[in-house]
Structure 1
Amino acid sequence: MNFLDFILPPRCGSCGTETLQPLGLCSFCWEKLHFIGEPQCERCGYPFEIAEISGILCGACMQKLASYDRLRAVLRYDDASKLLLMRFKHGDATHLAPLFVRWMAQAGQTLITESDVLLPVPLHWRRLLKREYNQAALLAQGLSRQYHKVYLPHLLKRKRYTPSQGTKTVLQRLENVAGAFHIPSFKRNFIEGKKVLLIDDVYTSGATINECVKVLNHARVKGVNVLTLARVVRPEIIR
């Protein structure tokens, strides 16, 4: 333990209790998290409960292919991970970004490696002014530095202020973000023909991601992968 750790001992990123290592979690909070790994849907990353043949698609992707190429997430979005993510998203706990970037680098290594450009899901300027930071941008920036990838935080724009998606139904979420994003025409040459990795903190219904992917495809990108810190896992999710 160095002198600074003696004066200000490292604390768990979730519950705040003292830990041995900085930028980590206590054993109690760690054990409550549910990390997503194999087996999972080859396209959308939806976790399977039992071992499946490698490369298989989930039922939703068999019926309707997602707008993106592939999606991967680190954690199941549940009570344990929600507490951690809400501190990061709304509690100014930006010091957790390096920890999350490390997790995302492991979960999405293949997607990051094959991508040319990293883009965060943008916030509207009004929400950004209130929050003072875009949590998705912090994650994308950290990953771009680690993998030496092009990072374009201001290319994809949220042109219309949209209310929070938190309490809305799936249909309301779709309507809420319809037409909310765009890429200025003079910036499209930066991503035309490029493989894009879209970064966000939580994947819930897929409404926001699908709307962003629609705009990116219109700009003639080579393809879009998606990497998120957490995702909701439930049968009715739109993928």
Structure 2
Amino acid sequence: MSTSRFLAASLAPLVDFVYPPRCPACGGGVAEQGGLCAACWEGLVIPGEPSCAACQRPFGDSGPQAGAICAPCLANPPRHDGIAAGTLYTDVSRQLVLAFKHGRRLALAPMLARLMAARLPVTDPERVIVPVPLHRWRQWRRGFNQAGLLARELQALGHGRLCVDALVRAKPTPTLGGLGRKARARALSGSILLNSRRRSAVEGRDILLVDDVLTSGATSDSCVRALKRGGAASVTIACFARVLEEALDV
């Protein structure tokens, strides 16, 4: 056992006495720090099979068989090479994201990353892990990039080598909620670029693009475009929560 883990284990009873363990989603009592209560575990929805061969959108038991392509991907073929989502976006996953990103519960990163890693087919130490970038002023105000923290945990789990600054956000972008597809594209145009100093780390490589939540996909699409223009062989998106309301009844 490493020194840091030994100290953490030794101090755990004192920490639990001063700060009794609470579920980060609902605030209820739990057995250990960073854990979820049973009810909140049940509130997480893990995407299942069969799913779209292009984007892993779950079809449900009554849907097409594995290997089929979903209607959105047929209508607008994605630039990416697959999506690995730890959970679907529900009330519980939303509370975890809020606690992590806005509540500064950074200790949640390992648990969120483990759920993401469970959806990745195999470990690949040669893959390059790239977080979705924040604009420098937003990262300065927040103090951290949540995608970067998740990417670091995925590296620790053996899913690739972290290149934290492969992408840069050259200009701030407005909130994309409520905007149509064309408006989102205009807002993001020219905002996410490949870091020229990291081109050699991307060229010819399989990339794992990491973010906390995947909503419309506009931001990740801009990232995928920049990475593939830089010569990336493939780009798979990994996120903790994916917004797919139509899939929650499957």
**Is this a same-fold pair by TM over 0.5?**
yes
Task: Give the deviation of 1:7 after TM superposition.
Answer: 3.9
Query: Deviations 1:2-24 (Å, cap 9, x if unpaired)?
Result: 62334433211211221013321
Displacement of 1:229: 0.6
Aligned position for 1:72:
84
Q: In the superposition, relative to structure 1, how do residues 82 and 169 fare at CA in structure 2: closer, same or farther (>3 Å)?
A: farther
Mapped pair 1:53 → 2:65: yes
**Does the aligned pair in 1 maintain the 2:128–2:160 contact within 8 Å?**
yes
Work out whether residues 46 and 87 of structure 2, in 8 Å CA contact, stay in contact via their aligned partners in 1.
Answer: yes
Which residue of the other structure, out of 218, 222, 233, is the alignment partner of 2:233?
222
Superposition pairs for residues 117-196 of structure 1, below 5 Å?
117-147=128-158, 149-196=160-207
Bigger drift between 99-108 and 25-34 goes to 25-34
Which residue in 2 is equivalent to 1:14? 25
1:121 counterpart letter in structure 2: V
Could you tell me which runs of 5 or more consecutive residues in structure 1 were left unpaired when the two chains were aligned.
none
Find the aligned partners of 2:126 and 2:40 in 1 and give their Cα distance: 33
Q: Matched residues in 1 for 2:108 and 2:206: separation?
A: 28
Residue in structure 1 matched with residue 208 of structure 2 by the alignment? 197
Which segments of 5 or more consecutive residues in structure 2 lack a partner in the other structure? 1-8
Say if 1:128 and 1:134, in contact at 8 Å, map to a contact too. Answer: yes
* Aligned match for 1:3, one of 3, 6, 13: 13
Q: Does 1:98 align with 2:110?
A: yes
Report how far residue 148 of structure 1 moved: 6.1
Higher mean C-alpha displacement, 120-129 vs 9-18: 9-18
Aligned pairs, number: 234
Partner of 2:46, secondary structure, is coil
Q: Secondary structure at the match of 1:107?
A: coil
**Is the CA contact 1:115–1:197 (under 8 Å) kept in the aligned structure 2?**
no
Q: Secondary structure at the match of 1:86?
A: helix
Partner secondary structure for residue 16 of structure 1: coil
Task: Quickly say closer, same or farther: Cα 1:115–1:203, change in 2 above 3 A.
Answer: farther
Q: Residue 88 of structure 1 contacts residue 94 of structure 1 at CA under 8 Å; is this kept in 2?
A: yes
Distance in 2, Cα, partners of 1:182 & 1:122: 10
Name the CA distance, whole Å, in 1 between partners of 2:105 and 2:175: 20
Asked whether the 8 Å contact 2:170–2:192 carries over to 1, the reply is: yes
Mapped to 1, the partners of 2:193 and 2:102 lie a distance apart of 25
The alpha-carbon deviation at position 155 of structure 1 amounts to 1.6
Q: Is the 8 A contact 1:23 1:98 kept in 2?
A: no
1:23 and 2:34 are equivalent in the alignment: yes
TM-score norm. by structure 1 comes to 0.90
* TM-score normalised by L of structure 2: 0.87
Q: Which residue identity is paired with 2:143? A: E
Distance 2:22 2:13 in 1: 15
> Once superposed, what is the RMSD of the aligned Cα atoms?
2.0
Q: Percent identity?
A: 37
